[in-house]
């Protein structure tokens, strides 16, 4: 586990050469981290494992938050990048609020800056706005917001 996480951290640190130029590769990397975090979180809860030092789950959570920040602070290249950001933040948002509230505040600021600073495809803007509203609503959208973002659904 430690070797895998170390490799992921090395890939992240060399992202400008290895990952960021290819949106599909970057999104795949973030998806992999997200899946690994989910599996590790379930396993840790199941076994109630104790770790010396920083638990791998927290290392992955921090790495995911850094990836989200990197996506938001660079030029958003496609709707696919924002969609994976949405998937990841809806998965880890509550955990980030609990474990590292300062990092979540930074991500919230990055979301706002990305929404306001660049001309975006309307769907990208709508997705960023939904993430901001989700965080403000403590990761549970009220019915009116659900109807706005998903007009064909009923809650």
Task: For the chain, give every domain's residue range.
Answer: 2-149
What confidence category does residue 70 fall into, taking pLDDT thresholds of 50, 70 and 90? Answer: very high
The correct answer on CATH 1.25.40.180 for the domain covering 2-149 is yes
**What pLDDT is stored for residue 7 in this prediction?**
94
DSSP string over the chain? -HHHHHHHHHHHHTHHHHTTTSHHHHHHHHHHHHHHHHHHHHHHHHHT---SSS-HHHHHHHHHHHHHHHHHHSPP--HHHHHHHHHHHHHHHHHHHHH-HHHHHHHHHHHHHHHHHS---HHHHHHHHHHHHHHHTTT---HHHHHHH-TT---
pLDDT tens by residue, 107-143 = 999 999 999 986 778 889 999 999 999 999 999 888 8
**What pLDDT is stored for residue 45 in this prediction?**
53
Phi then psi for 55, rounded to 5 degrees?
-65, 145
Which pTM was predicted? 0.87
Contact 120, 76 (CB under 8 A): yes
User: Crossing angle, helix 79-99 and helix 56-73, to 10 degrees?
Assistant: 140
User: Is the predicted pLDDT of residue 42 greater than 50, yes or no?
Assistant: yes
């Amino acid at each position: 586990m430690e070797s895998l996480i170390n490799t992921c951290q090395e890939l992240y640190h060399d992202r400008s050469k290895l990952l960021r130029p290819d949106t599909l590769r970057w999104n795949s990397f973030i998806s992999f981290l997200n899946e690994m975090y989910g599996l590790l979180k379930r396993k840790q809860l199941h076994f109630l494992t104790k770790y010396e030092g920083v638990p791998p789950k927290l290392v992955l959570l921090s790495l995911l938050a850094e990836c989200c920040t990197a996506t938001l602070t660079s030029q958003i290249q496609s709707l696919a990048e924002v969609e994976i950001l949405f998937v990841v933040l809806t998965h880890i948002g509550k955990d980030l609020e609990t474990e590292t509230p300062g990092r979540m505040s930074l991500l919230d600021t990055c979301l706002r800056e990305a929404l306001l600073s660049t001309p975006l495809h309307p769907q990208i803007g709508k997705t960023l706005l939904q993430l901001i509203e989700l965080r403000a609503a403590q990761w549970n959208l009220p019915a009116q917001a659900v109807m706005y973002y998903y007009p064909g659904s009923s809650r």
